[in-house]
Amino acid sequence: MQRRLFIVIGIVLAIIALVAVAFVVLSQNLGGPVEEEPGLTDGVGAIPAEQEVPTVQVIVARQPIGRGSEFPPGSLGRIDFPAESVPPNAIVSESETVGKIAIIEIAQGQIILRDYLQDRALGAASEAAFLVPPGYVMVPFPIDRQSGVAYALQSGDFVDVLMTVSFIDLDPEFQTVLPNKFAFIREEPVLVDGEVVATTISMDPSTAGDEGRLTIENEDFPGFEFPSEAQRPRRVAQLTVQRAKVIRIGSWIEEPEPVVAEGEAPPPPPLPDIISLAVLPQDSLVLLWGRATQARMELALRAAGDENADHSTEAVTLQYMLTRFNLSVPPKLEFGIDKSDVFIPTPTPPPAAPPP
């Protein structure tokens, strides 16, 4: 009886052992890594190993940094960034931010560029100062629909300044516009008891030439020749300041909105009459001189992508127009056109607006 019991227990233990061995084998085949024999191909050649992309550590903001703020400890961190995608002016060391402030709003996770930094000693400048390129100064420039390129300008555009200057003849000593005024000087006798005892010098107002010149046809008939009109200036137009950057359209101070009565439509916003230009310091003096001399100045908008071109132009005068366009001065004739018989078409009035 006991012998039969031992046999049954042995059979049960053997079955348990077989089940355990089978479980271990199945676990290894289902979840374990499958080793590939060297030399396996995909039908073309050997499968290459994965190549690593080279990276560079750059400095990023670990928290938002406000414009004009310093970089407190713990506000910066390092990340690995693909080397070929790193901006050329990205900083790679936290030491580059020592003594610096941010000149723009920097978002969390943003790469810190050198263009975002400014020396703390310079202080937190105005918004406009951050927009002026280094080496440039900002000056105001008055505009209207004509000089402002039909109000097509936008911030970030580049423009050239066209200037027309008018020249007139001056007296070198008086520095006044020619011709000069003059009068004759005459001698008048001083009579005492009917005898000439002396002579005096005086101006003869009756013969004073006002902006005229003495013309003597012969000794018996001297006279004065007068100009029929004021001196005509000699104008010249030239391209002056180049590559000026438009920083802003209109004033930097927000004008208060007009008070509108209830039920009335607000008036349209006023058109801008001034812009801010970034120019070289020497060019700022050119613009100042143009305004001081009341020269006519207009802007010419540059094409996109043509910001750095250097244009060379020739000054335009009356002689230039005659020569370039082969204009000939018409001869003086003994007849002209009767303007009283010239047909002037009557403009057609615009169509009436339909009733509301």
Q: Are 103 and 130 in contact (CB under 8 A)?
A: yes
Provide the 3-class DSSP secondary structure of residue 26: helix
Q: What is the predicted pLDDT for the residue at 325?
A: 96
Q: What is the predicted pLDDT for the residue at 30?
A: 47
Point out the least confidently predicted range of 8-22, 153-167, 204-218: 204-218
Whether 37 shows a pLDDT value over 60: the answer reads no
Q: Are 161 and 243 in contact (CB under 8 A)?
A: no
Measure the CA–CA gap between 45 and 222, rounded to whole angstroms.
Answer: 115
Report the candidate in 107, 122, 103, 99 with the shortest Cα–Cα distance to residue 75: 107
Measure the CA–CA gap between 344 and 134, rounded to whole angstroms.
Answer: 58
Whether 51 shows a pLDDT value over 70: the answer reads no
When pLDDT is cut at 50, 70 and 90, the band that residue 336 belongs to is confident
Report the candidate in 129, 123, 133 with the shortest Cα–Cα distance to residue 100: 123
Q: Identify which has the larger pLDDT, 285 or 211.
A: 285
Q: Which two tokens stand for residue 12?
A: 């049960």
Return all residues near 67 (Cβ < 8 A) that are at least 6 apart: 102, 103, 104, 105, 124
Average pLDDT over residues 57-75: 85
Measure the CA–CA gap between 126 and 97, rounded to whole angstroms.
Answer: 20
Q: What is the predicted pLDDT for the residue at 342?
A: 67
When pLDDT is cut at 50, 70 and 90, the band that residue 7 belongs to is low
- Of all residues in the chain, the percent with pLDDT exceeding 70 is 72
